[in-house]
């Protein structure tokens, strides 16, 4: 356990239990969307760490009270304009309590102590849409934020030994706050200029491999830090350093000319072996090498070669200095340890300009599957990092170049929207950003492939106003992309999607197979290969490949689509009882109208009329005006077996009460 000073935020949704009682499924979906689209990105941008979530509640640690308050204000402002069509009593409203206090960090990342207890007692004192802070927070932020807190005096809080000075911002006051551009900057000119930054002793040095037998105390501390997997897991001073510059890298010092630093630049540091088992040392090295290879395939990325990365093995590392020496914006580090018969992997992505954690995750598996685990861990990490790096760079460009973005910034912002749950609004915004990027740089690779993906999404979601035009545009874009990146798996997948939209299924399948040959861990290719089986009349053969995708990327942004692929396979086999749970998994992971189609049909064939009607109503919420006849004429496939199976779904929708529509 470690003890430190921390800024703590506790947030809770007002009336959540009532909303769950009225509409459990819908409330859970909305909460997940809120986390993905509002709270989690805002917390990440403020360098916060979600310690734990408790249903509708969050406990978050921040490196400074200024960041905590600015983040809370941004979240509350975003919530005020969210879901305007819902009645007031169904809209999410948060209360937030914030304090600075002493906390005790547990090995699993949890926090205890006065800081947590006081924040939890402040939260119910806030009005819905507002926040309450302790005097310690107020004193740090009052001269940095353009708002006036209401002084509620010293209050006796339950189970808190001494009265606490409480200051409040009402919901109206929160909405009136105009946060300055530097609201999240707790340090501008070095440590002495930082107002409100929490300072502590330097970080303990990461240990060398356990094989060396040195510095066992440091190794124990790293176990704590890695298991917590977060900003607060190690003791950092979170001040902003000058960051990497092209003209100061080791390459330039060795006589090479400086080059602009790519946005998606990183080094994978050797993973530490925190067990006494030398087998794990080889496993850790293998993970480092494979991740370096896989991440180097990301379009527009710059990944330091493994030979350079391994010079840091077993050494104490200052990630800020690593960033300056190698010219990279991010460092990926992690550890592997054995617990009984399990292997535990912890990984953290760190920004080199601040030393703050951008993302962290933990994976576990059985030691008997060591060889398979390496493949699975690499796949999980590579896909998660693709999404997280894109999101982090998008947020950084918004902070640093909000008014004057370059082509790379715009492309990253486009991918940030494309990685969110599929909606017409997200897809349209992504397409606009990709087009703006290409207007500045016609060869921008991430914009080329991103714009092609928006065409594919519109085609797959039946949002396309002109299918032929979207297919032609996507084909042209992916052809240009593949000319520049002939070995990239995403290029093959996108080309396969163009062929699938054109109902050239054999050619599409060959592209998905080629993508897998290029990258054995590319989960999307496995999922689409499975879906092709359903489209070509072999529905039963679809499931194993889609399940492979889910195993490779169990937290993927497309998980709701992949769950639907399994559901749809069972639906085509008329295995309604097996289809329905997978469809429910799909809509729980994210709103997806196609899953409600199969739910409506499945429930109708099972004679569950009320459930079928409810699913049909959800279709109309997501696709207003949709009809049985429109579904009957979607032309997903012209395969005779597929079409024969498809008629059962059409009839199921009719029985569920979906409007018939015109037959013209």
Q: Is 183 exposed, middle or buried (0-12, 13-18, 19+ CB in 10 A)?
A: buried
Q: Is 75 exposed, middle or buried (0-12, 13-18, 19+ CB in 10 A)?
A: buried
- The pairing of beta strand 330-339 with beta strand 342-351: antiparallel
Rg (CA), the chain: 26
Interval 324-342: pLDDT, tens: 888 888 888 888 877 667 7
Res 207: pLDDT: 32
DSSP lists the bridge partners of residue 53 as 58
Res 303: pLDDT: 78
CATH class of domain segment(s) 557-664 = mainly alpha
Q: What is the mean pLDDT of the chain?
A: 79
H helices within 401-522, ranges in order? 407-418, 424-440, 445-460, 467-484, 489-501, 505-518
Residue in 542, 580, 585 with CA at minimum distance from that of residue 563: 585
Interval 439-449: pLDDT, tens: 999 988 889 99
Res 477: pLDDT: 96
Q: Is 597 exposed, middle or buried (0-12, 13-18, 19+ CB in 10 A)?
A: buried
Q: Tokens representing 74? A: 């941004």
What is the rounded average pLDDT of the residues 246-272?
A: 69
Asked whether 388 and 349 are in contact (CB, 8 A), the reply is yes
Q: Tokens representing 5? A: 């000073």
Asked whether 600 and 468 are in contact (CB, 8 A), the reply is no
389 vs 134, more confident: 134
Straight-line distance from the first to the last Cα atom of the chain, in angstroms, rounded to the nearest whole number? 71
H helices within 278-369, ranges in order? 278-295, 306-309, 319-326
- Torsion-angle region of residue 537: left (phi > 0), alpha (psi -120 to 50) or beta? left
Cα–Cα distance for residue pair 410/586, rounded to 1 Å: 30
Cα–Cα distance for residue pair 94/75, rounded to 1 Å: 9
Q: Does the predicted model carry a pTM greater than 0.75? A: no
Cα–Cα distance for residue pair 219/226, rounded to 1 Å: 10
Cα–Cα distance for residue pair 611/85, rounded to 1 Å: 24
Asked whether 154 and 165 are in contact (CB, 8 A), the reply is yes
H helix or E strand, kind and range, residue 21: helix 16-22
pLDDT range class, residue 221, cuts 50, 70, 90: very low
pLDDT range class, residue 383, cuts 50, 70, 90: low
Q: Tokens representing 189? A: 């000119």
Asked whether 45 and 63 are in contact (CB, 8 A), the reply is no
Cα–Cα distance for residue pair 565/86, rounded to 1 Å: 31
Q: Tokens representing 280? A: 């794990």
315 by DSSP, 3-state: which? coil
Q: Is 624 exposed, middle or buried (0-12, 13-18, 19+ CB in 10 A)?
A: exposed
Residue in 143, 153, 149, 144 with CA at minimum distance from that of residue 130: 149
DSSP lists the bridge partners of residue 5 as 102
Fold adopted by 2-182: Alpha-Beta Plaits (3.30.70)
Res 142: pLDDT: 79
Q: Is 40 exposed, middle or buried (0-12, 13-18, 19+ CB in 10 A)?
A: middle
Cα–Cα distance for residue pair 420/574, rounded to 1 Å: 32
CA distances to 229, 568, 631, 649 from 653, in Å: 47, 14, 9, 6
Identify the weakest region by mean pLDDT among 228-242, 284-298, 299-313, 500-514. 228-242
Res 267: pLDDT: 85
Res 214: pLDDT: 27
How far does CA 249 lie from the centroid of its chain?
Answer: 31
Tell me 128's DSSP state.
T
- Interacting residues of 390 by C-beta distance below 8 A, sequence separation 6+: 264, 412, 415, 416, 419
> What percentage of the chain's residues is helix, strand, coil (to nearest 5)?
55, 15, 30
Interval 534-591: pLDDT, tens: 999 999 999 999 988 887 776 677 889 999 999 999 999 999 999 999 999 999 888 8
Interval 285-328: pLDDT, tens: 777 777 777 676 665 667 786 667 877 887 777 888 888 888 88
DSSP lists the bridge partners of residue 349 as 332, 359
Domain residue ranges in the chain: 2-182, 236-398, 557-664
Residue in 62, 76, 75 with CA at minimum distance from that of residue 111: 62
What is the rounded average pLDDT of the residues 224-235?
A: 30
Res 620: pLDDT: 95
Q: Tokens representing 494? A: 């996108």
Q: Tokens representing 41? A: 């990105």
CATH 3.40.50.10610 fits 236-398, yes or no: yes
Q: Tokens representing 503? A: 């109902």
H helices within 81-170, ranges in order? 114-122, 135-141
Residue in 399, 470, 406 with CA at minimum distance from that of residue 444: 406
Write the DSSP assignment of 224-280 as a string of letters. Answer: HHHHHTSGGGS----PPP----GGGSHHHHTTPPP-PPPSEEEEEPPPEE-SS-HHH
Interval 81-105: pLDDT, tens: 788 778 877 889 899 999 998 888 8
Q: Is 179 exposed, middle or buried (0-12, 13-18, 19+ CB in 10 A)?
A: middle
pLDDT(596) > 70: yes
User: At which residue do the structure tokens 């998905």 appear?
Assistant: 512
Q: Tokens representing 469? A: 């035009």
Cα–Cα distance for residue pair 44/46, rounded to 1 Å: 5
Angle at 220 between CA 218 and CA 224, to 5 degrees: 110
Res 506: pLDDT: 96
Cα–Cα distance for residue pair 552/523, rounded to 1 Å: 6
Asked whether 10 and 58 are in contact (CB, 8 A), the reply is yes
Sign of the CA dihedral 221, 226, 230, 231? positive
Asked whether 630 and 661 are in contact (CB, 8 A), the reply is yes
pLDDT range class, residue 654, cuts 50, 70, 90: very high
Domains 2-182 and 557-664 share a fold: no
626 vs 185, more confident: 626
């Amino acid at each position: 356990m470690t003890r430190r000073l921390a800024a703590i935020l506790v947030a809770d949704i007002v009336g959540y239990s009532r909303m769950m009682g009225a509409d459990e499924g819908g409330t859970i979906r909305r909460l997940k969307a809120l986390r993905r689209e509002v709270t989690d990105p805002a917390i990440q941008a403020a360098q916060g760490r979600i310690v734990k979530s408790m249903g509708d509640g969050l406990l978050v640690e921040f490196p400074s009270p200024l960041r905590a308050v600015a983040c809370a204000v941004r979240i509350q402002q975003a919530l005020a304009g969210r879901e305007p069509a819902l009645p007031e009593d169904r809209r999410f409203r948060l209360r937030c309590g914030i304090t600075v206090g002493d906390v005790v960090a547990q090995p699993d990342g949890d926090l205890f102590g006065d800081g947590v207890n006081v924040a939890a007692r402040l939260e119910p004192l806030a009005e819905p849409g507002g926040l309450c802070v302790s005097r310690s927070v107020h004193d740090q932020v009052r001269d940095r934020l353009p708002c006036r807190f209401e002084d509620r005096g010293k209050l006796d809080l339950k189970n808190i030994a001494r009265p606490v000075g409480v200051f409040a911002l009402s919901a109206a006051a929160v909405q009136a706050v105009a946060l300055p551009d530097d609201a999240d900057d707790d340090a501008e000119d070095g440590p002495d200029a930082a107002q409100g930054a929490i300072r502590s002793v330097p970080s303990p040095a990461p240990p060398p491999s356990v094989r060396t037998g040195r510095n066992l105390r440091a190794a124990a501390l790293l176990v704590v830090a890695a298991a917590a997997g977060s900003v607060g897991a190690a003791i950092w001073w979170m001040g902003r350093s000058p960051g990497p510059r092209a003209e100061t890298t080791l390459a330039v010092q060795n006589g090479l000319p400086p080059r602009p630093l790519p946005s998606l630049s990183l080094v994978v540091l050797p993973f530490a072996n925190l067990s006494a088992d030398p087998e794990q040392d080889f496993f850790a090295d293998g993970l480092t090498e494979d991740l370096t290879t896989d991440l180097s395939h990301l379009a527009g990325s710059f990944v330091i070669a493994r030979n350079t990365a391994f010079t840091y093995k077993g050494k104490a590392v200052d990630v800020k200095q690593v960033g300056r020496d190698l010219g990279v914006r991010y460092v990926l580090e992690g550890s592997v340890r054995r617990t009984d018969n399990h292997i535990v992997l912890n990984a953290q992505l760190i920004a080199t300009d601040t030393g703050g954690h951008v993302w962290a995750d933990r994976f576990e598996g059985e030691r008997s599957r060591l060889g398979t685990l390496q493949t699975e861990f690499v796949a999980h990490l590579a896909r998660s990092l693709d999404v997280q790096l894109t999101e982090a760079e998008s947020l950084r460009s918004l902070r640093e170049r909000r008014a004057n973005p370059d082509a790379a910034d715009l492309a990253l912002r486009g991918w940030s929207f494309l990685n969110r749950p599929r909606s017409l609004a997200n897809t349209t915004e992504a397409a606009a950003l990709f087009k703006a990027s290409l207007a500045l740089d016609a060869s921008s690779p991430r914009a080329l492939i991103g714009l092609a993906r928006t065409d594919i999404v519109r085609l797959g979601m039946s949002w396309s106003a002109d299918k032929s035009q979207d297919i032609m545009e996507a084909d042209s874009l992916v052809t240009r992309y593949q000319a520049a990146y002939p070995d990239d798996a995403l290029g093959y997948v996108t080309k396969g999607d163009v062929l699938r939209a054109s109902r050239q299924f054999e050619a599409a399948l060959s592209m998905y197979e080629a993508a897998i040959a290029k990258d054995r861990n590319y989960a999307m290719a496995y999922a689409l290969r499975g879906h092709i089986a359903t489209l070509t009349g072999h529905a039963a053969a679809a499931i194993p490949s889609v399940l492979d995708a889910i195993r490779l990327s169990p937290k993927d942004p497309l998980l709701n689509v992949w769950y639907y692929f399994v559901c749809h396979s069972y639906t085509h086999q008329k295995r309604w009882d097996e289809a329905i749970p997978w469809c429910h998994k799909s809509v729980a992971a994210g709103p997806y109208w196609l899953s409600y189609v199969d739910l409506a049909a499945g429930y109708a064939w099972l004679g569950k009329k009320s459930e079928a009607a409810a699913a049909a109503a959800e279709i109309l919420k997501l696709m207003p005006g949709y009809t049985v006849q429109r579904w009957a004429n979607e032309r997903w496939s012209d395969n005779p077996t597929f079409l024969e199976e498809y008629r059962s779904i059409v009839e199921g929708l009719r029985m569920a009460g979906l409007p018939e529509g015109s037959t013209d």
